[in-house]
Structure 1
């Protein structure tokens, strides 16, 4: 039976074409030659051809205790044969098969956005051998550390860092923005991007499914297989609805003693549009987001995002660009350059944006710290040449600050200027310095936050581990409703839990390891694509282009997708209602009802396809297409 099903599935379009030709010939013979017997014979043949795949699917459904649409149609067609309505049987099976073919074609179109991602995935790479020659290798067989040669016009096959050469790279497939990005030695490149000009060699850090691009495809595929609460309800509803229609048809037959009417009830009661409408919207909405660098990790995220009334932001790398610079270095004890050398060496082992600001300073010598210890929410402890050093916030060096009037005065002065402070101190107190670091607001932050409020978000909150003065300076420049400074990672998570107990639906936007506790408890966890793997792993929504406009677009796209689902449900239910009304007043028959039923399926699919072209409305920063600048 399985092989027969596979045969009909493989040649479905050809079979429908054959059925269409036979029906046309039968009608022509009937009207031109009055060949009634030949007409009936052809109709029987068409009916049997169409019934076989439908009946086999129905049997498979019943084997798993599911009364599917195919069961209803099979019973109806067999009943039509019994009462001698061969033309009805033929037309119903033809329409049902034709509907499946058209569904397959149109659903394939809704998945086109995701297919574009799959087609962009690199397949091979030019690997540089030890003797300097190159050979082509499948990307799935590449390991970290391998060197890859990439020339003008080629696709970057791996994630990695540039070893030699310079190039202009189009990163539209990763960021959604087609602006050329200049790459030089030490810069990161990503699989799936296009090298428009130049030649570079790259040290591989990830290949195949482990690349940034591979993870994007994986996330989108997983999201399309997920279900919203609405879809789960519809699926469960269909399990009970179909047997209910079958029962109603039996009762109608018993009461009216009209077998034809009972069979027609089965055909018209098929919930095809109801079943297909919700997943079609899901696929189209998620595909639209994927093309624009907005990765929903499931359609249920869209459902939840619609009800969010509070959005909390981490500050660094989220509201700000995440590339802070050292504005002030005040040395209280020790040699300035020596402290820079030591601080840079230790902070190179960290990934916090404030650490990156310090590593951008120029060291005089290369040092190699040992016994590195990360103290969560405070900073780092390490040894250099048997001497212990601390670098972090006030809590880490509280014993140094205590009773140190000058240090406290300078800390207050630097923080009042809007700087974040990092304190460097040796364990023996012979070296002491303050780094004053500032970050810049994202250029679109203020406008994006205003638009979130227009979309129904009632509260915007900033949660930061930074000091009160720096936090206030940022909050004053943005439409932030409230801010909380000096928060440890656990404090952010506790704050979110507390807000949830008050009945708020809360989204949290972050980008770092320290944000993971808050992300894990939020109703919707949003990670910036420039953030850490940990943040993206625990998130529900990833903004590949770390752009707050993408967050606004996420809210709009989620709302539009759920609205589209509801439209499809309404179309499906109204169609069934109108068909039954038409049936009982005498305007609808089995074949015409089946035609309307199949048309309703196509209508909900075409309605879903509108989401593929949906364009989020962003005020000054127009969100054009996946190949246009997002900013």
Structure 2
């Protein structure tokens, strides 16, 4: 075990020594005409170089794996038997040098992960009764308060309890812009306070923070294999023994030991084995650098095949920052009614309810004589409650219908007018009589229309919106964004039914939602995509997380998936073409062991460099927007 660790640690030095010995051998033969020196140098080079290769082969055999190293080891032994020290030396050197270049180029594809890991905060300034104390970040508990000054990292997930500052959230969202944080705002571990100071009460610490989960997620994703990789793994298990059998048959029928050994060398499927993993690692790394978390190679494969995108409306296509933009009251006690509506909506965290509370706070005098009892929230419809012995119902038209409440002609006209203007509507009735109608507007996210057009240009055939909002509002948004199909007034379970129906029709479906209310639909789609800055549910239930909550990021993620799958196919074609070229060359006599090994190692580097093109991949849409990739800073606390 220690010997194997020693070899692994010093493989690069062994490669260098082997190269020097080969150079000395050729110098002895061609410059000094010293054949014995040539033979000795190359024989020693072969022995030194084959040791780490043979140890790896034996380790694989113990685990019942027929590795490429086994083929090379047998080939070197054969070359020794026939006295071709030059062949064995060159083959082993090229194999080790190829492994060195492979590790160096693969390391570049993992820079996004290293950048994230380097950003992990290590210390925190803990606020105590006696003042402040510098502690290890692992010593901070939930509920503790930490102080973060300008230039330092936020060490925990938490809420601001004092101070004001501008935070760079590039490590979370991939977008390097400063966001103002005030009292009660949420902040995330790993982000940097660019200006100001914050006291933060910890809600998530250590491995439970959003930042820690992102690092873990991306690392796991790069180790999760695609279908192509799984196929190649199975293929390699049968391919290596097949090459051994083929080499044995060649020797039996030709009695040419050198030819049989050459078959072993040329049969190494190195480029085939490395081609798919390196493409996925590079593609997932590209996404991580942009705040796009893709959970593994299999997700990449499926996402590339998606032909139907299904969207939630509020908080996904729209900002979710709703406000009351029109209001109708059908009695004179408007202040009392607004306070009543705000009191009932206070039990809900729905965006429409928050808009009503905000509106009441700025348009009505506060009231303290309202007693709220027996509240019941009906998912996808609204709330009913008892306030000061009156029965209050507030919600959408489904809620009114369920309680046998009808609108007058004037009220129906007002409601229709608001809905035709694309507004969400909330109706409040007291003791069975409609008293108020709120028209609530939400703004469409920036760049949505252009992004949806770009997604269609990338191969998406069908855009579908599923919403709990009314039909008129949904249709207004759909017309603005050129969405193909709209289904409104849906409960969460009805959205799931539509997703299942689309899949049953043979579509490959991706559902994009906010990661909380839409988690059942996200879980049931072929690909679930969460829009949101790292909520636990978003990270846990979805296949892709867009930390920026932006549609250009969605366009990039889809384009990246398609490009990664294409890149994997290119690498497989290169690998198969190389093997075919080598075997044909062997038959016609223009390929020999050393030259074949050179071509083999060159093909490995070709597929790696081809995959590395994904590191800086940008879609056509990215290029038209001229937005640079935001590299993550490396400031430490």
Q: How does the TM-score come out when normalised to structure 1?
A: 0.93
- Equivalent residue for 1:417? 421
Task: Find 2:625's aligned residue among 613, 621, 624.
Answer: 621
State how far apart, in whole Å, the 2-side matches of 1:32 and 1:69 are.
35
- Equivalent residue for 2:49? 50
State how far apart, in whole Å, the 2-side matches of 1:19 and 1:349 are.
74
- Equivalent residue for 1:605? 608
Deviation at residue 548 of structure 1 after TM alignment: 0.9
Task: For residues 483-526 of structure 1, give each alpha carbon's deviation from its aligned partner in whole angstroms, at most 9, with x where no partner exists.
Answer: 11111111111112112221111111111533122211111111
Deviation at residue 425 of structure 1 after TM alignment: 4.8
Q: CA RMSD in A?
A: 2.5
State how far apart, in whole Å, the 1-side matches of 2:578 and 2:601 are.
10
Matched, 1:9 2:13: no
- Equivalent residue for 2:18? 19
Task: For residues 409-430 of structure 1, give each alpha carbon's deviation from its aligned partner in whole angstroms, at most 9, with x where no partner exists.
Answer: 543343333221223456x558
- Contact kept? 2:11, 2:52, Cα under 8 Å: no
State how far apart, in whole Å, the 2-side matches of 1:124 and 1:486 are.
49
Matched, 1:525 2:523: no
Task: For residues 275-302 of structure 1, give each alpha carbon's deviation from its aligned partner in whole angstroms, at most 9, with x where no partner exists.
Answer: 0011001000000011111111112122
Task: For residues 107-128 of structure 1, give each alpha carbon's deviation from its aligned partner in whole angstroms, at most 9, with x where no partner exists.
Answer: 1111112211111222221110
Matched, 1:213 2:222: no
Matched, 1:130 2:121: no
Secondary structure in 1 aligned to 2:463? strand
Deviation at residue 467 of structure 1 after TM alignment: 0.5
Deviation at residue 129 of structure 1 after TM alignment: 0.7
Alignment of 1:500-579 (within 5 A): 500-530=503-533, 533-579=536-582
Alignment of 1:146-161 (within 5 A): 146-161=144-159
- Equivalent residue for 1:78? 77
Task: Find 2:396's aligned residue among 376, 393, 396.
Answer: 393
Q: How does the TM-score come out when normalised to structure 2?
A: 0.92
- Contact kept? 2:172, 2:533, Cα under 8 Å: no
State how far apart, in whole Å, the 2-side matches of 1:221 and 1:345 are.
46
Deviation at residue 431 of structure 1 after TM alignment: 8.8
- Contact kept? 2:405, 2:432, Cα under 8 Å: no
Deviation at residue 403 of structure 1 after TM alignment: 4.0
State how far apart, in whole Å, the 1-side matches of 2:11 and 2:374 are.
66
Deviation at residue 620 of structure 1 after TM alignment: 4.9
Secondary structure in 1 aligned to 2:518? helix
- Equivalent residue for 2:36? 37
Deviates more, 1:32-41 or 1:107-116: 32-41
- Contact kept? 2:98, 2:601, Cα under 8 Å: yes
- Equivalent residue for 1:67? 66
Task: For residues 211-240 of structure 1, give each alpha carbon's deviation from its aligned partner in whole angstroms, at most 9, with x where no partner exists.
Answer: 222222222112111121111111111111
Alignment of 1:328-367 (within 5 A): 328-332=326-330, 335-361=333-359, 363=361, 364=366
Matched, 1:321 2:352: no
Over 3 Å counting, the alpha-carbon distance change for 1:259 and 1:202 in structure 2 is: same
Matched, 1:191 2:159: no
Deviates more, 1:290-299 or 1:176-185: 176-185
- Equivalent residue for 1:489? 492
Deviation at residue 43 of structure 1 after TM alignment: 2.2
State how far apart, in whole Å, the 2-side matches of 1:516 and 1:530 are.
15
Over 3 Å counting, the alpha-carbon distance change for 1:10 and 1:341 in structure 2 is: farther
Deviation at residue 374 of structure 1 after TM alignment: 4.0
Deviation at residue 608 of structure 1 after TM alignment: 0.9
State how far apart, in whole Å, the 2-side matches of 1:551 and 1:442 are.
13
Deviation at residue 474 of structure 1 after TM alignment: 0.8
State how far apart, in whole Å, the 1-side matches of 2:548 and 2:627 are.
12
- Equivalent residue for 2:243? 245
Task: Find 2:221's aligned residue among 208, 220, 223.
Answer: 223
What is the number of residues matched between the two proteins?
625
- Equivalent residue for 1:254? 252
- Contact kept? 1:553, 1:617, Cα under 8 Å: no
- Contact kept? 2:226, 2:297, Cα under 8 Å: yes
Over 3 Å counting, the alpha-carbon distance change for 1:404 and 1:391 in structure 2 is: closer
Secondary structure in 2 aligned to 1:191? coil
Secondary structure in 1 aligned to 2:397? coil
Deviation at residue 18 of structure 1 after TM alignment: 1.8
- Contact kept? 1:333, 1:430, Cα under 8 Å: no
Secondary structure in 2 aligned to 1:161? strand
Secondary structure in 1 aligned to 2:52? helix
Task: Find 2:137's aligned residue among 136, 139, 143.
Answer: 139
- The runs of 5 or more residues in structure 2 that have no matched partner are 633-637
